[in-house]
């Protein structure tokens, strides 16, 4: 028996609600127990909706834990969902300082773990979703489709039913490739297998220090994750050589707005990065289009080839591919999704988050209507909802789930009363060429670097989670 925020639920009762013959009595299933998923749980709890959270990792916010050493550049006041705050306070929780910039580890320890604890057995760890469909219906069959429950198959083979699904699984497990054309560079996969290429946000100043100290490191990418890693590398010994390669003709987008940024830490990120480039501590290489990767003993050669066929090489000991993330909709391939052909978000959301027109801070408020698919009851939220757009902030995900859950509870007035107050950014680009070059995820939007701390910095990130009934 476990005590949740919504009352006491036995294991038998939980088993009964996920296998109910009546779809209306089934739970809402949330995929992912990160910040946005657990915010969904809090809103479901407040509205008395039955639910179940499925987390693929063996701990709460498993993806956040992987960048736990990184400090986000948005303070606590932007990182805590309103419903989650109300539930935690009712349980006697002491809120952290609103102005403090937490690390990923602090997000978990001081916020997400206490929140998940309120939900008891309604949060299941080690429950990786393999596929989603409709009970007895493939994607083609229409008549009666809306009246049957969703079928969720776990990697273990277990199957569950749900009346609705909120997919807050994020994009951290599907990083973009190093190749500049969106395809893997020739030889890239072998170099990853040989552990010569690392993906974004290694713990440069902590657990991974020996892999980088005193070596020549090439960082590829122009987003927040690249900036975070570059700033950490710059704190290593002078014998550590740092090369930064980007596709754009300049790094102005990465440098951002400096003192004009509404988030001071985010502005400091770009200012500090520029100073390292100007001083020569970081060598910036522009117009670099990764095409091929070759291993030569202990060194790795990365070859750029531009549209004219001109090639040039960079030779390093290790490569950090900070090229962002992309969504993977494979688990929902038997559902009827209407995805924008460019971004991979819903078609209605795409123009609102289009990096041609918007930065992180100028994305307009949006909710259930923009997130809906032709498959009623299925919603991708959080960073996954943005597809490849690099304009996501955690607060945006919180408003998304508030709206979606209000709709699931039948409160359409609240669902459509969407409001969003975001700090304007000088880092997220609204220029198409630069936005394509950015390819940032944890769009997760992870990034950072404070002048006053040895810990790198990041953006408010990603999500997954849920609560009681």
d(CA 335, CA 353): 24
Q: How far is CA 186 from CA 192, 200, 306, 323, 386, in A?
A: 12, 20, 15, 16, 28
Reference 344, options 304, 392, 412, 413; nearest CA is 392
User: Mean per-residue pLDDT for 282-304?
Assistant: 95
Q: How far is CA 239 from CA 236, 301, 322, 431, in A?
A: 8, 20, 22, 36
User: Mean per-residue pLDDT for 71-97?
Assistant: 94
| 465 pLDDT above the threshold of 70 | no
Cβ neighbours, 10 Å, residue 258: 16
User: Do the Cβ atoms of 132 and 331 come closer than 8 Å?
Assistant: yes
Residue-wise pLDDT for 155-197, tens only, equals 999 999 999 999 999 999 999 999 999 999 999 999 999 999 9
d(CA 349, CA 339): 9
Residue-wise pLDDT for 355-408, tens only, equals 777 666 678 889 999 999 999 999 999 999 999 988 788 889 999 999 999 999
More confident residue, 113 or 389: 113
d(CA 102, CA 283): 30
Residues 6+ apart with CB under 8 A from 261: 267, 270, 423, 424, 425, 426, 427
Q: What average pLDDT is seen over the chain?
A: 85
| 82 pLDDT above the threshold of 50 | yes
d(CA 456, CA 433): 27
**pLDDT at position 370:** 97
Reference 170, options 399, 447, 443; nearest CA is 443
Under the banding of pLDDT at 50, 70 and 90, the label for residue 460 is very low
| 432 pLDDT above the threshold of 70 | no
With a pLDDT cut of 70, the percent of the chain lying above it is 82
**pLDDT at position 261:** 54
User: Mean per-residue pLDDT for 223-251?
Assistant: 93
Residue-wise pLDDT for 273-289, tens only, equals 999 999 999 999 999 99
| 452 pLDDT above the threshold of 70 | no
| 344 pLDDT above the threshold of 70 | yes
| 17 pLDDT above the threshold of 50 | no
Sign of CA dihedral 370, 461, 161, 122: negative
**The tokens of 451 are what?**
């002048």
The three-point CA angle 94-100-102 to 5° equals 85
CA atoms within 13 A on the CB side of 203: 11
User: Mean per-residue pLDDT for 234-259?
Assistant: 87
User: Mean per-residue pLDDT for 301-323?
Assistant: 96
d(CA 73, CA 266): 6
| 143 pLDDT above the threshold of 50 | yes
Q: Domains in the chain, start-ordered, CATH in brackets? A: 2-174+326-458 (3.50.50.60), 188-321 (3.50.50.60)
Most confident option among 59-73, 329-343, 432-446: 329-343
**pLDDT at position 73:** 75
In this structure, of 68-82, 149-163, 233-247, 313-327, the range with the lowest mean pLDDT score is 68-82
């Amino acid at each position: 028996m476990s005590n949740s925020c919504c009352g006491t639920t036995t294991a038998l009762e939980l088993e009964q609600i996920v296998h109910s013959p009546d779809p209306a009595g089934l739970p809402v299933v949330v995929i992912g127990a990160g910040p946005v998923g657990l915010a969904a749980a809090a809103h479901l709890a407040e509205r008395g909706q039955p639910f179940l959270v499925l987390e693929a990792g063996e701990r709460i916010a498993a993806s956040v834990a992987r960048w736990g050493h990184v400090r986000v550049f948005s303070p606590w006041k932007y990182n805590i969902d309103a419903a989650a705050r109300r539930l935690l306070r009712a349980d006697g929780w002491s809120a952290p300082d609103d102005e403090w910039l937490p690390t990923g580890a602090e997000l978990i320890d001081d916020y997400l773990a206490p929140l998940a604890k309120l939900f008891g057995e309604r949060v299941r760890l080690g429950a990786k979703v393999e596929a989603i469909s409709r009970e007895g219906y493939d994607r083609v069959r229409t008549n009666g489709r809306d009246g049957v429950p969703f079928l969720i198959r776990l990697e273990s083979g277990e199957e569950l039913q749900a009346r609705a699904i909120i997919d807050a699984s994020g994009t951290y497990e599907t990083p973009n490739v190093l190749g500049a054309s969106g395809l893997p560079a020739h030889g890239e996969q072998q170099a990853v297998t040989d552990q010569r290429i690392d993906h974004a946000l290694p713990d440069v100043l902590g657990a991974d220090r020996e892999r980088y100290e005193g070596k020549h490191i090439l960082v590829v990418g122009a987003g927040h994750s690249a900036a975070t890693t570059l700033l950490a590398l710059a704190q290593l010994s002078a014998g550590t050589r740092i090369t930064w390669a980007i596709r754009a003709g300049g790094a102005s987008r990465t440098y951002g707005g400096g003192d004009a940024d509404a988030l001071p830490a985010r502005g400091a990120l770009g200012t500090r990065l520029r100073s390292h480039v100007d001083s020569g501590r970081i060598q910036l290489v522009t117009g670099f289009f990764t095409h091929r990767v070759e291993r030569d003993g202990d060194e790795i050669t990365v070859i750029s080839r531009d549209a004219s066929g001109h090639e040039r090489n960079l030779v390093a000991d290790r490569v950090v591919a900070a090229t962002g993330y992309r969504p993977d909709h494979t688990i929902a391939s038997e559902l009827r999704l209407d995805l924008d052909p460019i971004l991979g978000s819903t078609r209605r959301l795409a123009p609102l988050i289009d990096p041609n027109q918007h930065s992180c801070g100028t994305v307009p408020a949006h909710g259930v209507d923009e997130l809906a698919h032709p498959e009623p009851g299925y919603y991708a939220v959080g960073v996954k909802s943005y597809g490849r757009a690099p304009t996501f902030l955690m607060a945006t995900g919180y408003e998304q789930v508030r709206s979606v859950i209000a709709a699931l509870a039948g409160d359409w007035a609240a669902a459509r009363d969407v409001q969003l107050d975001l700090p304007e950014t000088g880092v997220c680009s609204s220029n198409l060429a630069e936005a394509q070059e950015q390819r940032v995820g944890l769009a997760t939007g992870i990034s950072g670097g404070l002048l006053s701390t040895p810990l790198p910095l990041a953006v408010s990130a990603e999500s997954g989670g849920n609560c009681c009934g």
